[in-house]
Amino acid sequence: MLGKTLLHICLVVLVVLVVGSNTAIASYRMHFFLPDFPPYTMPDEQGNAVGIGVDKMKLILDSIDVDYTFKVGSNHGRALSELRSGRSDGFFMASQNEQRDQFAKFANSVMVNRWVWVVRRQSREYFDPENKEKYVVASLVNTNTNFWLNKSGYKTAAPASDIKSLISKLSSKEVDAVFVAQEVFNEEFKYDTRFQIMVQVEKEFSVYISNAFLKKHPEFMEKLNRAIEKHR
């Protein structure tokens, strides 16, 4: 009886050891708070993070053994606030600016983001973005495009919370043009013949990783950048 009990215990221990040896332990555990920024990052009907930026970053993070979680909500301003407070280790997709650089490090480019002017079709021939005093323009709240408009001295209307509200300002002639990432416009209005676009600039689009996380894992940024180059 004692022999059978000892045999049973040995078998249980052996199973635990085998299972444990095959259980992967992630090199890094990270939480990302993401802006609701279609088509790059957005929630599906179940609240899960989806989008072309999410697909790209999953591939990159998986390749360097990151155990990650995503939460989508609000905008880039909220994403930065979550990072600053320590509730998030990073956010994407984003372009670089000095405010974000104070609290996080910008990784190598994951994709190219085209910033475009959107105008009413009948205004395309006459719109000159260099004439800052002539036009009232707008962008999306807490985005780098809105930050750029204000920094560059444009006459701006209140920023919109989403692309449909922004284009509504243009349709109603509240503004003369809107300034936005091309893919954001294309998500809802790509085939809308009422509007035309003009490319202003191409910006690197990538992920910010918090300084606090990098202080604990100083080797991480090099690994991340190598993975980005491999999977870009």
Residues 198-230 pLDDT 10s: 999 999 999 999 999 999 999 999 999 999 999
Q: How far is CA 168 from CA 118, 120, 128, in A?
A: 12, 11, 21
Q: With cut-offs at 50, 70 and 90, classify the pLDDT of residue 22.
A: very low
What's the pLDDT at 5? 53
CB distance 19 to 79 below 8 Å: no
Q: With cut-offs at 50, 70 and 90, classify the pLDDT of residue 25.
A: confident
Residue range 139-167: mean pLDDT, rounded: 96
What's the pLDDT at 17? 47
CB distance 76 to 142 below 8 Å: yes
Q: Report whether pLDDT(34) > 60.
A: yes
Q: What pTM value is reported for the model?
A: 0.80
> DSSP states of the chain as a string?
-HHHHHHHHHHHHHHHHHHHHTS---SEEEEEEE--BTTTBEE-TTS-EESHHHHHHHHHHHHTTEEEEEEE-S-HHHHHHHHHTTS-SEEEEE---HHHHTTEEEPSPSEEEEEEEEEEGGGTTT--TT-TTT-EEE-BTTSHHHHHHHHHT-EEPPPBSSHHHHHHHHHTTSSSEEEEEHHHHHHHHTT-TTEEEEEEEEEEEEEEEEHHHHHH-TTHHHHHHHHHHHH-
Q: Report whether pLDDT(16) > 90.
A: no
**Of 9-13, 106-110, 165-169, 228-232, where does mean pLDDT reach its minimum?**
9-13
The residues, ordered by sequence, that sit 6+ positions from 229 with a Cβ below 8 Å of its Cβ are 108
Tell me: the pLDDT tens digits for 160-196?
A: 999 999 999 999 999 999 999 999 999 999 999 999 9
Q: Over the chain, what is the mean pLDDT?
A: 91
Q: With cut-offs at 50, 70 and 90, classify the pLDDT of residue 4.
A: low
**Of 10-19, 68-77, 113-122, 178-187, where does mean pLDDT reach its minimum?**
10-19
Closest CA to 27 of 230, 208, 227: 227
Q: With cut-offs at 50, 70 and 90, classify the pLDDT of residue 24.
A: low
What's the pLDDT at 26? 82
CA dist 210 and 141 (Å) reads: 22
Residue range 70-76: mean pLDDT, rounded: 96
pLDDT above 70: percentage of residues in the chain: 90
